[in-house]
Amino acid sequence: MLLSWPRFGLPEQTQVQVPDSKSMSCAGSQAGLQLGQELQASVAGRMSTLCPGAGQGGLQGQSLGAGRDSDALVSRQCPSSSVHSPWSLPRWRAYVAAAVLCYINLLNYMNWFIIAGVLLDIQKFFHISDSNAGLLQTVFIGCLLLSAPVFGYLGDRHSRKATLSFGILLWSGAGLSGSFISPQYSWLFFLSRGVVGTGTASYSTIAPTVLADLFVKDQRTRVLAVFYIFIPVGSGLGYVLGSAVTKLMGNWRWALRIMPCLEVVALILLILLVPDPPRGAAERQGEVTVRALRSSWCEDVRYLGRNWSFVWSTLGVTAMAFVTGALGFWAPKFLFEARVVHGLQLPCFQEPCSSWDSLIFGTLTVVTGIVGVILGAEAARRYKKVNPRAEPLICASSLLATAPCLYLALVLAPSTLVASYVFLALGELLLSCNWAVVADILLSVVVPRCRGTAEALQITVGHILGDAGSPYLTGLISSALRARRPDSYLQRFLSLQQSFLCCAFAVVLGGGCFLLTALHLERDQAQARQPGTGTLDSKDVDSNDRET
């Protein structure tokens, strides 16, 4: 009589020849049973030695064919030490963590643009010209882009929660100390802004990867849309907070002293409520999986360099960063000088200067940011059901439509201020449509193991070629044009206006980059979804050999 039992972890069946009772005596049957029990006990002992934690339950319902197969069975059945238990999180906990990360993102971008809200007062206090004032933002962005690859590397290999906590402490401490610097040490104020940029790099690099490991598919798109709403909202509130506190307290320094109080609350919430999920946890959906492939940083960079969807979308983001950096830093002053030219505002001779333009521009940024991000995310979600290339096509369309809006806002400012505001708001609305969409593109075309590195590289390239230099370049062109013209308020305004025109050309280039992204999107998404994409480094190979 033949009996078959399934062998654990193997597709084949183990067959054991058991003699019939008619052809075997009772004594022989007992001897055979005793032999089988001895073999089972022997294998159980080997598993307990080779596989700590493997008990008798691991052998229940299993059968052994012959003694010579016991070694092979042990080696096959021995669970690898790298097998992880299922990771799961209650849905409400995931949404609470997302809410905390959104709040910190709000504070993050308030720090980016709070200086722009009080720029005129800072220029008067430290005696800074236009070209050097633009250097303030360049130092901030320069330090951010230099530290982003470091935080990307740490975020892919170490505790993301600890790295985020360190970044919050760093930027809040530097921001607070910058409010106590005296006028003769203006270089120290520039340095403090650089340290703030270093701290914010940790959050901009790592936080989206945490959200990507908590949510998947449509849920991820919606959560990222809410998360990236706080880029324009935080930017706008940075203007509003800076100008409102300056107007209320009569001193711009208090704007920098209020922020650390909000950031301490953010740090406590991060430590208590935000988990650090395993990389790729959302894609695995709680299944038991073997240790993910691990590669070196250089291998990750080579992989991203061959990922054309990532490359072209990064260049498109760079064009967006160039425009938003220049507008975000100089638009309040541009609107102030436009009102001076129209006779609606007196020039600023001493601080505190009028802050109405910062309040107006900040409000526009908040409103258009909320509406734009929601519109862009919903359009991408719905259009994606019809066209799999919907995301880069929406980004390209919005950027190509932004160019004429910005151009008309600049050209019409000397003649009609209302039309200039309308087209400026429309341009900001179209730009905001892309924030959540570009993040979703990156997370869908890059494998989970190197998303932190991908975020870091995109931030680095975007800032090096984008908003790290655009504020300084705009101020430099404005100063060069003013040097060749009569010293009047009209000529100052026209110089700043004409220096802004390069933004309209940069945004057209960004639209072209997203059109090229659409050509490679489907192929790169398919490769990112393949299990085991990537290569093991030498440490992983050695580890596998030792485990075997």
What is the rounded end-to-end Cα distance, in angstroms, of the chain?
37
Q: In the numeric block, which tokens belong to residue 183?
A: 């006028």
Do residues 361 and 330 touch, judged by C-beta distance below 8 A? no
β partners of residue 16: 3
Taking the C-alpha atoms of residue 74 and residue 42, their distance in angstroms, rounded to an integer, is 10
Q: Mean pLDDT lowest for which of 13-17, 91-95, 110-114?
A: 13-17
> For residue 34, how many other CB atoms are within 10 A of its CB?
10
Taking the C-alpha atoms of residue 461 and residue 109, their distance in angstroms, rounded to an integer, is 19
Q: In the numeric block, which tokens belong to residue 227?
A: 């998360």
pLDDT tens-digit series, residues 231-266: 878 887 887 888 888 888 888 888 888 888 999 999
> What per-residue confidence (pLDDT) applies to 11?
40
Mean pLDDT (whole number) for 128-153: 80
> What per-residue confidence (pLDDT) applies to 87?
60
| pLDDT band at residue 99 using 50, 70 and 90 as cut-offs | very high
Tell me the pairing of strands 2-6 and 13-17: antiparallel
| pLDDT band at residue 521 using 50, 70 and 90 as cut-offs | very high
Contacts of 434 (CB under 8 A, 6+ apart): 320, 376, 394, 395, 398, 399
Specify the pTM.
Answer: 0.63
pLDDT tens-digit series, residues 491-513: 888 888 888 888 888 999 999 99
In the DSSP assignment, the letter for residue 14 is E
**How far, in Å, are 9, 51, 145, 383 from residue 153 at the CA level?**
36, 33, 13, 34
Enumerate the H helices of 158-252 as residue ranges: 160-178, 186-212, 217-249
pLDDT tens-digit series, residues 341-382: 887 777 765 555 656 777 788 788 888 888 988 899 889 888
Taking the C-alpha atoms of residue 91 and residue 94, their distance in angstroms, rounded to an integer, is 5
Taking the C-alpha atoms of residue 488 and residue 458, their distance in angstroms, rounded to an integer, is 41
| DSSP letters spanning 255-312 | HHHHHHHHHHHHHHHHHHH---PPTTHHHHTT----------HHHHHHHHHH-HHHHH
Of residues 45 and 223, the one with the higher pLDDT is: 223
Compute φ and ψ for 261, nearest 5 degrees.
-65, -40
In 3D space, the residue among 440, 425, 431, 428 whose CA is nearest the CA of residue 383 turns out to be: 440
| DSSP letters spanning 484-543 | TS-SSHHHHHHHHHHHTTHHHHHHHHHHHHHHHHHHHHHHHHHHHHSTT-S---HHHHHH
Q: Mean pLDDT lowest for which of 93-97, 346-350, 382-386, 402-406?
A: 346-350
- The H or E element spanning position 411 is helix 390-411
